[in-house]
Amino acid sequence: MSTPAQGVLWKARVVVGLRWLGTLGLGAYLLTRSDLGAASAIVSEVAPRWIVLAVVLYFADRCAGSAKWMLLLSVTGRGIPFWTALSIYLQSSFLGAALPATVGADLVRARMAQPYAGNFTNSLSAVIVERLAGVIALVLSAAIGLAMFAPISSWRLVRSPALWVAAGTASLIAAAWLISRFQRKGTLASSNLLAGRVTRFANGLKSRLVEYRGHGNVVAIVLAIALGQQYLFTLINWLLAVALGLDVRLITMLWVWPIVMMAIRLPISVLGFGVREVLLMKFIGSAGVSDAGAVTLGLASGLLDILFIMAGGGLLLFSHGRRREGHLR
């Protein structure tokens, strides 16, 4: 008889397997649509100065994310040094990249910050509010982009309010189904003792989240930073397009990129590879960019993500080495 933990592990493996299958399938589709020779020619003409600027701005984005987290942790009465927050932010991104969903990185980040937050409830509540602010900012940037910058004739379906309402309704139905399923089967607790611990933890987390209502100024600042990050990330990827010599207007990226960012969060590929490129072919292809150019831009964006994920892996190894040296001494 399998335990709840074994069931969760099996489901996680299934999700990871499906993401790899999705990535391979989308990759095969892209190979049939892309001109590798044209893509190679685009890469050979890349302008390094724009790549460097994009990397610098990406680092600024990571710093902004760490600043949000520090502000939210201050509500709990605890503090964390900026460089420590940034290091944990990068390391958790590396560890979360191997997990089935983006929520994995959030849980890792909360666990790593626990010594600075006082307890896991404090750190997890800050991470949850930060994530919610990011989701709200992403939806806002997408709505603003679609309303102000998307061509009406080409993207009526994407701009349709009915589509957004249907997507939101489907999400609520799915969430309600999952909650009822957990409650019905009791998968959140395998014993009365564990159920009691889960209940106490959930109540503590709820009370901690409620405390943020009394710190509306902090939450507002965090939301403003999150919205700024969305536009910064759009600028970063537009700079990548400029570096590749692609004729893409910034005004086009202001509505295209938020949609791409929403899509790559779906658990159907690894780090968004395949999904990102297919959508760019569809969206910026209508603006005159070749399929090879769109795919190259998507891959460049994904490689930039990997660069900072690997930087987090390097920090993780470095910090682990220092802890080992400290134990040996």
Please state, in angstroms and rounded to a whole number, the distance separating the CA atoms of residues 104 and 226. Answer: 20
Residue among 225, 258, 241, 243 nearest 294 (CA): 241
pLDDT higher than threshold 50 for residue 8: no
pLDDT of residue 205 exceeding 50, the answer is yes
- Higher pLDDT: 100 or 126? It is 126
pLDDT for 158-192, tens place per residue? 555 555 555 555 445 544 444 444 344 444 444 34
Q: Residues 309, 315, 320, 322: what is their CA dihedral angle, to the nearest 10 degrees?
A: 180
Domain boundaries in the chain?
A: 37-160+190-328
Residue 250 has pLDDT above 60, yes or no: yes
What are the pLDDT digits (tens) for 289-302?
A: 888 888 899 999 99
pLDDT of residue 80: 82
Task: Give the mean model confidence (pLDDT) for residues 78-90.
Answer: 84
Query: The dihedral of CA 210, 134, 274, 108: what is its sign?
Result: negative
How many Cβ atoms sit within 10 Å of the Cβ of residue 329? 5
Helix (H) or strand (E) holding 295: helix 291-328
The pLDDT score that the predictor gives to residue 14 is 63
With CA atoms as reference, report the closest residue to 76 among 117, 24, 130.
Answer: 117
**Tokens at residue 219, please?**
């939450």
pLDDT value for 192: 41
For residues 85 and 301, the answer to whether their CB atoms sit within 8 Å is: no
Averaged pLDDT of the chain: 75
Confidence of residue 326 (pLDDT cuts 50, 70, 90): low
pLDDT at 210: 66
- Helix H segments across 102-160? 102-112, 114-117, 120-148, 156-159
d(CA 5, CA 52): 44
Per residue in 37-79, pLDDT (tens digit) is 888 888 888 889 999 999 999 999 999 988 888 888 887 767 7
Q: What is the mean pLDDT of residues 77-106?
A: 75
Are 138 and 102 contacting, i.e. CB atoms less than 8 angstroms apart?
Answer: no
Indicate the SS3 state at residue 118: coil
How many DSSP H helices and E strands does the chain contain?
14, 0
Q: Are 71 and 79 in contact (CB under 8 A)?
A: no
- pLDDT tens digits for range 258-316: 999 888 877 777 778 888 888 898 888 777 788 888 889 999 999 999 898 888 888 88
Cα dist. 231→85, 107, 144, 148 in Å?
22, 26, 11, 14
Q: Among 13-22, 44-53, 79-88, which stretch is predicted with the lowest mean pLDDT?
A: 13-22
Provide DSSP, 33-87: H--HHHHHHHHHT--HHHHHHHHHHHHHHHHHHHHHHHHHHHHTT----HHHHHH
